[in-house]
Amino acid sequence: MKKVRRKIGKYEVGRTIGEGTFAKVKFARNSETGESVAIKVMAKTTILQHRMVEQIKREISIMKIVRHPNIVRLHEVLASQTKIYIILEFVMGGELYDKIVQLGKLSENESRHYFQQLIDAVDHCHRKGVYHRDLKPENLLLDAYGNLKVSDFGLSALTKQGADLLHTTCGTPNYVAPEVLSNRGYDGAAADVWSCGVILYVLMAGYLPFEEADLPTLYRRINAAEFVCPFWFSADTKSFIQKILDPNPKTRVKIEEIRKDPWFKKNYFPVKLGEDEQVNLDDVRAVFDDIEDQYVSERSEITEGGPLIMNAFEMIALSQGLNLSPLFDRHQDYVKRQTRFVSRKPAKVIISSIEAVAESMGLKVHSRNYKVRLEGVSANRVGQFAVVLEFSINSKLTEESVLEIVVQAFLLFFIRKFYFCLSLG
């Protein structure tokens, strides 16, 4: 008996190839052209529940604007009564991050090749007024031919040429430019260039140029551009990277200067772009105008019944760039995936809250010198786990960089997830 494939429009949908907190990604094939695609499936109820309408709408619109051979292509957006389907280019080579982990580090020539493609893509974004703001190896994919594809525009900003400085502090700490941390506004183009420089260093070294156990020390090193190149970097490579990792954004090398550098120009073949395609956002408007009507209706119902109530985990979901998945990564490697949390609550208050929650769950708690160790055993005693939390105190945290009660939310999510897995055996 022939198996009937599910269809979404002209796409025949196959296996699930990825799954996150808010979406599933399905492999599919265009029945008209035979082209392989990836379909990101999101429930409208989830988008509404987590107030993600504007964020997703902006990300989709940006991806349609920045069409380039080295950027993951967004084909179209479809919708049913209950779901939204984002049709993306299928990139089968995995993350550049995984290649670094597998090989330890890449050769100078291979690193230069990926860096050239990255600069081509980032330059194209900047010409369109788009600044990525979260460039890192985890957001760089490789296709079947080894070509680099920039992905994940969830933190990107779309501005007009010559617009004012950006002010949102976002990104991944180890890759973020020093001026982004200053809360005085920053040039998105210069900040992206800095992140590209960190990526180049990681490609060739196999580890990060800025890596510290606590955020204050990490930020001090970033602000001072305090890093050392390994001995296997050539003199030209060191000089080139030092121009990019300049802590002063005004004197930091610009993309047009990067293109002229002899190190960059070696074996460089610029990507050939056709005429700019006419970008049509009608499908995006159609999908989100409909869902926004539901959103307004739902908010009205909530307002009538009283104030909007939001739990701690929903607050995390609303905080762009805060991705909990790295907490569960099993890689033991030089390029670490890390997530840190900050709060304005005093350390002693946070520790007391953690102790109360942990003890209510039957966990053993050991506290000493701002370190908390939690130990637990599953219900059927088939396994055990331990969690160690360390607190660093920074009196200079500003309100813009603060996430309230995140520590408590993280603890509940982390413990319950692992406790449940252990109970299943």
**Of residues 420 and 414, more confidently modeled:** 414
Half-sphere exposure of 167 (CA within 13 A, CB side): 6
- Across the range 35-62, mean pLDDT stands at 89
Tokens 């979404």 belong to which residue?
8
- Of the pLDDT bands very low, low, confident and very high (cuts 50, 70, 90), residue 209 is very high
pTM: 0.70
Provide the pLDDT for residue 414: 52
Least confident of 33-42, 122-131, 305-314: 305-314
The overall average pLDDT reported for the chain is: 79
**Of residues 392 and 334, more confidently modeled:** 392
pLDDT at 299 over 50: no
Nearest to 336, CA basis, from 173, 176, 164 = 173
pLDDT at 418 over 60: no
**Of residues 393 and 154, more confidently modeled:** 154
Provide the pLDDT for residue 98: 93
- Across the range 383-396, mean pLDDT stands at 60
- Stated as kind and residue range, the H or E segment containing 57 is helix 53-65
- Write out the two tokens for 385: 């786990």
Interval 358-368: pLDDT, tens: 777 778 887 77
Neighbouring residues of 131: CB distance < 8 A, sequence distance ≥ 6: 125, 156, 157, 159, 166, 188, 189, 191, 192
- Bridge-based pairing of strands 130-131 and 157-158 is antiparallel
**Of residues 35 and 408, more confidently modeled:** 35
For the chain, the distance separating the N- and C-terminal CA atoms, rounded to the nearest angstrom, is: 38
Neighbour count for residue 72 (Cβ, 10 Å):
22
pLDDT at 181 over 50: yes
pLDDT at 319 over 90: no
Q: Which residues pair with 26 in a beta bridge?
A: 16, 39
- Stated as kind and residue range, the H or E segment containing 113 is helix 108-127
Question: Looking at residue 75, what DSSP letter applies?
Answer: E
**414, 415, 420, 423 alpha-carbon torsion, rounded to 10°:** 140
Catalytic annotation, residues: 134
pLDDT at 306 over 50: no
DSSP reduced 3-state for 275:
coil
- Of the pLDDT bands very low, low, confident and very high (cuts 50, 70, 90), residue 46 is confident
pLDDT at 137 over 50: yes
Provide the pLDDT for residue 354: 81
C-alpha distances in Å from residue 102, one per residue of 131, 196, 303, 325, 423? 30, 21, 52, 20, 33
| H-only helix segments in 224-281 | 235-244, 255-260, 262-265
pLDDT at 111 over 50: yes
d(CA 101, CA 123): 27
Provide the pLDDT for residue 385: 60
Q: Which amino acid is at 340?
A: R
Nearest to 174, CA basis, from 141, 144, 214, 147 = 214
pLDDT at 409 over 60: no
d(CA 354, CA 60): 38
Domains of the chain and CATH, by start: 6-90+278-305 (3.30.200.20), 96-265 (1.10.510.10), 314-424 (3.30.310)
Provide the pLDDT for residue 193: 98
Q: DSSP labels for 304-341?
A: HHSS----HHHHHHHSTT--SGGGG----SSS------
Neighbour count for residue 53 (Cβ, 10 Å):
16
C-alpha distances in Å from residue 246, one per residue of 184, 206, 217, 223, 318? 18, 21, 18, 9, 32
Distance of alpha carbon 42 from its chain centroid, rounded? 18
Tokens 């360390």 belong to which residue?
390
Interval 245-296: pLDDT, tens: 999 999 999 999 999 999 999 999 988 877 666 777 777 877 777 675 554 4
Contact 264, 57 (CB under 8 A): no
For helices 235-244 and 188-205, the axis angle rounded to 10 degrees is 150
Nearest to 50, CA basis, from 295, 414, 251 = 295
- Across the range 388-411, mean pLDDT stands at 50
Q: Does the annotation flag 40 for ligand binding? A: yes
Contact 155, 177 (CB under 8 A): no
Least confident of 94-98, 117-121, 228-232, 298-302: 298-302
- Across the range 125-135, mean pLDDT stands at 94
pLDDT at 25 over 70: yes
Neighbour count for residue 33 (Cβ, 10 Å):
9
Provide the pLDDT for residue 327: 39
pLDDT at 19 over 90: no
